[in-house]
């Protein structure tokens, strides 16, 4: 694992390429932030492929995983890839914070044990890779990221680790910006839908309106039924009709529409 500041292992040409890559990641128009930079990472390190994965720290579910071939940027189609990645030792150690920088897979566990893992047998071996250099990075409290490249048969150098470490930090920031943009877009869509729905509230009957007003307070169907002196089944029926009249499909949209009028 690297102990010196990452940039000290890099030359001027490396730093220029990393700066260009960082600027690319800082652009706001990427649908899939990592995909475009993986071939460049692979080219800088001289690896056959580069990849990334994003996992939930608490559930252990790998939600996103992609590996591209360095020579042409094509996605490597690997059956059950997310399931395989869960057997990688860094997946177990990374989210816990026990490793925080670039580390070769062979350094993390013994080579004999490494070669027994499904990840090695079903992913690395078919792609003629003997080892993997991986850099975990934190995203949000519930998510961890992993950036990795293969190293063929030779040991990763300090330069390899420095490229991966600095790129992982740029990637971490880009992915966090992407998630903020996605959250903002979701809010924008919800507000737009609420703006469109609000005028339709006048089409509700008095009882439907009472049910909706109770719903906005956060009351459950049972609580609404108890408050209005009706059955839960009747509450459910009123909500079905209200959703249809308002052109929505869930409680969140109804609440947004009501708040739009207050």
Q: pLDDT confidence of 93, banded at 50, 70, 90? A: low
CATH fold of the domain at 204-261: Arc Repressor Mutant, subunit A (1.10.10)
What does residue 105 show for φ and ψ, rounded to 5 degrees?
Answer: -55, -40
Is there a common fold for 6-184 and 204-261? Answer: no
What torsion do the CA atoms of 84, 89, 94, 100 make, to the nearest 10 degrees? -130
Residue labelled with tokens 């991986």: 134
Residue pLDDT, tens place only, 199-229: 777 888 999 988 988 888 888 899 999 889 9
Average pLDDT, the chain: 78
pLDDT the model gives residue 233: 94
**pTM score over 0.75:** no
Partners of residue 138 on adjacent β-strands: 144
C-beta separation of 48 from 150 below 8 A: yes
Per domain, the residue ranges of the chain are: 6-184, 204-261
CATH number of 6-184: 3.30.450.80
Task: List pLDDT tens digits, range 106-150.
Answer: 777 777 888 888 888 888 888 777 788 888 888 777 888 888 888
Q: Are 95 and 62 in contact (CB under 8 A)?
A: no
């Amino acid at each position: 694992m690297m102990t010196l500041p990452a940039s000290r292992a890099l030359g001027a040409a490396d730093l220029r390429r990393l700066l260009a890559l960082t600027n690319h990641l800082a652009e706001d128009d990427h649908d899939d932030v990592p995909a475009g930079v993986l071939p460049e990472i692979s080219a800088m390190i001289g690896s056959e492929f580069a990849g990334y994965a994003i996992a939930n720290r608490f559930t252990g579910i790998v939600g996103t995983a992609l590996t591209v071939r360095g020579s042409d940027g094509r996605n490597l189609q690997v059956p059950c890839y997310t399931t395989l990645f869960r057997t990688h030792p860094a997946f177990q150690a990374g989210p816990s914070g026990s490793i925080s920088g670039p580390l070769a897979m062979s350094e993390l566990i013994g080579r004999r044990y490494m070669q027994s893992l499904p990840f090695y047998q079903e992913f690395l071996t078919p792609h003629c890779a003997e080892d993997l250099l991986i850099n975990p990075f934190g995203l949000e409290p519930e998510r961890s990221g992993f950036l990795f490249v293969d190293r063929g048969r030779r040991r990763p150098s300090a330069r390899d680790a420095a490229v991966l470490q600095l790129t992982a930090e740029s990637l971490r920031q880009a992915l966090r910006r992407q998630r903020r943009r996605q959250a903002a877009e979701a809010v924008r869509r919800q507000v737009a839908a609420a703006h469109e729905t609000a005028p339709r509230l006048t089409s509700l009957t008095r009882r439907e309106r009472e049910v909706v007003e109770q719903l906005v307070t956060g009351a459950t169907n049972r609580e609404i039924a108890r408050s209005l002196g009706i059955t839960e089944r009747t509450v459910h029926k009123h909500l079905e009709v209200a959703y249809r009249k308002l052109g929505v499909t869930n409680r969140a949209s109804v609440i947004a529409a009501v708040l739009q009028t207050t």
